Amino acid sequence: MLPPAGAQGTDPGGRLLLVLAEAFGWEDLGDPPGSALGDWGTRAAVGVVTVAPGDPADPWTRLLSLGVGRRTPFPRTPLPPAALPEAELPGGEEARAVWTGFTGRAVPDRAGLLLFLPPTLLPQGSTLGDHLRSAGVSTVLIGGGGTSEEAPAAGALLTGSDGLVLGAVVPEPVAADPAWPGGLRTDWKRLDQLVRGAADARLLVIQWSDLGRLQVWESLVPPERYRALREEALAGLLGWLEAAASRVASAGGKVMLLATAPPRSLPSRSPAPLILYPHDPPALVTSGSTRRPGVLDPGDLAPSILALLEAGTSWPGEGRALVTQADPHPYGTLDRFYRTAVGVSQLRRPVLHTYIIIVGSLVLAASLLLALAPDVPPPHPARRVLDFGLLVAAAAPLAMLAPPLVTTDGRVHLALVILLSLLIAGLLGAGVPAAWRFPVLAGATFLALLADTVAGAPLQQHAFLGNDPLGGARYYGVGNEYMGILLGSGLVVAGAFWEWRPTVLARLAGLAVLAGLVVVLGSPRWGANVGGTIASLFGAAYLLLRLGRRPPRWSHLLLLATGTLAAVGLVGLVEALLVEAGSRSHLGQLVARILQEGWRPLGEVALRKAATNLKLVQYTIWSRVLIATLIAFVILLYRPVGLFRQLTAQKPYLGRGIEAALVGALVALVANDSGVLAAATAMIPTMTTLLMALRSVRTSAGA
């Protein structure tokens, strides 16, 4: 018999069998994906959890972060991370006595595990364990190692803010096997007996460690034998789980198989699979945090467990409970996402670093050439190379949107980006007058990004400049890199429309571009980018103000800033009052918190944005391209003498569109928590258009 599982609630609620599998990856689901799961895998909802917070090599940090809903490093002390109450610690004292000595409190009889945590680390009511207690959910944890002295890391997932796991905690049943690396493997018969004995528990957690124990010896085992041992271990898990899942489901419960971390052999940032059974018809899991079918954020796990248990508590963190979306072929759909996301993620950093260096160098070199040798003719080799290079670099953000339509391979993706950038630049160079190449390119980029954003940004999420869905920074809407491209392109295109034709239709087209820019970035359903909304609204208003051709006064700018913030605040207020909590954007969540807690959340967000920007300015390569383009702009402002003034006189609307884009980039720098990225990318269409416009003005003046 198991010891008492903990407090029983008056309402039995839901039941959940949660199996935590170490070193378990997407490829372990079989080929094709899902085939290794047998019949029970065909009646399931499937998804992946993005990179778990914390150090992947530290299961205590990883699981504590999942239980708290945010990255929470597990503190290391001279004591073990945790211990069973009756365990003897290295100093010879019983863990119960040591814990009481530190805390001054007696260990409750229902405590199954003691965690040695600083008393101020976890605020009261902030953990999954706290909410399980308040809901009266009885808990049993089976896992850890082969002795009664070894504490399971899964206790970090279930701990309360006081460092206690209330409920039965039983070591994972293992059997000695000299033929197995490490000599220990799961005793499935004994595990099944324990699970049957814990049938009354509403939450039964099993930490399965065979693959984790095997992974320790990977370097000493021949590759073929290692693969065979993994397959044998997985067959044991999935075979047992198929029978156990059927038993749990027949009693009205749910089974969740969750990989706590993928195998070390997989690429970094590989997401971990999650399977929820039973679910008929087959489906993908998602949440209000990600809005991506098949994708969950690590912070979603705790509220999802509470929702499956029908705990009826309100989760205080930013994570949202999972929901499902029917899909007749969930494994195939998710496999394409997984392979594309992993392939792009592995190359994203080196590709962007190279791209940024190229863009900054080209802009600076072209600016210096124009300033020092303004009359170099177009056929000159240096000018031809720089002009074509700028066109290729400016075409890359548009070219990056296409490869996800045709490939899941990261290297093929990169090759297609290069070829498409060259193709777009070649077509523009051959068919569009020099003065209009960059405005036309900006217009095409703007329309493509606008359409993709309204469609849910399926192309941006797999583009090198888009949101990395495996990084967890942003799952939906427009990321700051493409937000900058959209901002700069939109303001340039609006000015270009008015410059192109002095007709009512052209003016309406320019206004439509500005309206589309603001609405799409500001919509919680589409762009959901607060900083981008502020920057686009201010930039659009500034451009309309500059149509009067008089320099704006400081009072005008102050009025614009006040009106912009008021409009954004009003949108957030409407969302906070009319949209349910699970569907709000970050802006709606912030305004809702302000209404509940006062102005403190706004101060926290402002400080976080400032700290992030300062860090990015110091350490990210994006700050280098921003500095390079700003230096180039300052050079062009003064050399050749009077050329910038000639541009505003000869092409007033295009010049003011470029000016508004520069202003919008500076506002984005201040308004975003990673504003350096947005400002730097906004300068790409802005500065390339400016350089060619100045060239055309100089050429016409010389003629």
Percent of the chain at pLDDT exceeding 90 = 58
pLDDT, residue 5, reads 43
pLDDT, residue 373, reads 83
Q: Is 40 a domain residue?
A: yes
pLDDT, residue 702, reads 55
Q: How do strand 254-259 and strand 283-286 relate by DSSP bridges? A: unpaired
pLDDT, residue 485, reads 97
Tens digit of pLDDT for each residue in 149-199? Answer: 578 999 999 999 999 999 999 988 999 999 999 999 999 999 999 999 998
Q: Is 637 a domain residue?
A: yes
Q: Is 117 a domain residue?
A: no
pLDDT, residue 274, reads 94
Looking at the structure, do residues 344 and 322 belong to the same domain, yes or no?
Answer: no
Looking at the structure, do residues 262 and 154 belong to the same domain, yes or no?
Answer: yes
Q: Is 36 a domain residue?
A: yes
pLDDT, residue 6, reads 42
pLDDT, residue 7, reads 41
The number of residues making up the chain comes to 703
pLDDT, residue 11, reads 42
Looking at the structure, do residues 364 and 277 belong to the same domain, yes or no?
Answer: no
pLDDT greater than 50 at residue 634: yes
Where residue 257 falls among pLDDT bands split at 50, 70, 90? very high
Which of 328, 352, 384 represents a domain boundary (last residue)? Answer: 328
Looking at the structure, do residues 535 and 654 belong to the same domain, yes or no?
Answer: yes
Counting the structural domains of the chain, the total is 2
Q: If you average pLDDT over residues 12-36, what whole number do you get? A: 89
Residue 89 CB partners (closer than 8 Å, separation 6+): 79, 80, 83, 95, 98
Which of 309, 328, 347 represents a domain boundary (last residue)? Answer: 328
Q: If you average pLDDT over residues 43-69, what whole number do you get? A: 84
pLDDT, residue 470, reads 84
- Exposed / middle / buried, residue 222 (Cβ in 10 Å: 0-12, 13-18, 19+): exposed
Looking at the structure, do residues 479 and 595 belong to the same domain, yes or no?
Answer: yes
- CB 311 within 8 Å of CB 439: no
Looking at the structure, do residues 400 and 315 belong to the same domain, yes or no?
Answer: no
Looking at the structure, do residues 436 and 517 belong to the same domain, yes or no?
Answer: yes
pLDDT, residue 141, reads 97
Residue 144's closest CA among 154, 136, 133, 157? 154
- Exposed / middle / buried, residue 106 (Cβ in 10 Å: 0-12, 13-18, 19+): exposed
Instruction: Tell me how crowded residue 645 is: count the other CB atoms within 10 A of its CB.
Output: 12
Q: Is 95 a domain residue?
A: no
Q: How do strand 203-208 and strand 139-143 relate by DSSP bridges? A: parallel
Q: Is 558 a domain residue?
A: yes
Tens digit of pLDDT for each residue in 288-317? Answer: 889 899 999 999 999 999 999 999 888 988
pLDDT, residue 371, reads 86
* d(C-alpha 485, C-alpha 457), whole Å: 14
pLDDT greater than 80 at residue 614: no
Where residue 649 falls among pLDDT bands split at 50, 70, 90? confident
Q: Is 104 a domain residue?
A: no
Specify the pTM: 0.87
Tens digit of pLDDT for each residue in 323-335? Answer: 999 999 999 999 9
Instruction: Annotate 358-408 with DSSP letters as a single string.
Output: HHHHHHHHHHHHHHH-TT--TTSHHHHHHHHHHHHHHHHHHHTTSGGGT--
Which of 295, 328, 361 represents a domain boundary (last residue)? Answer: 328
- CB 698 within 8 Å of CB 367: no
Per the structure, the complete domain to which residue 270 belongs is given by: 16-70+122-328
Looking at the structure, do residues 342 and 274 belong to the same domain, yes or no?
Answer: no
Q: If you average pLDDT over residues 206-225, what whole number do you get? A: 94
Q: Give, rounded to a whole angstrom, the gap between the first and last alpha carbons of the chain.
A: 97
Percent of the chain at pLDDT exceeding 70 = 93
Looking at the structure, do residues 226 and 372 belong to the same domain, yes or no?
Answer: no
Looking at the structure, do residues 404 and 324 belong to the same domain, yes or no?
Answer: no
Where residue 569 falls among pLDDT bands split at 50, 70, 90? confident
Looking at the structure, do residues 280 and 369 belong to the same domain, yes or no?
Answer: no
Higher-confidence residue of 346 and 638: namely: 346
Looking at the structure, do residues 521 and 396 belong to the same domain, yes or no?
Answer: yes
Q: Is 368 a domain residue?
A: yes
- HSE-CB at 24 with a 13 A cutoff on CA atoms is 26
* d(C-alpha 243, C-alpha 216), whole Å: 29
Amino acid 266 reads L
Amino acid 120 reads T
Question: What CATH number corresponds to the domain at position 186?
Answer: 3.40.720.10
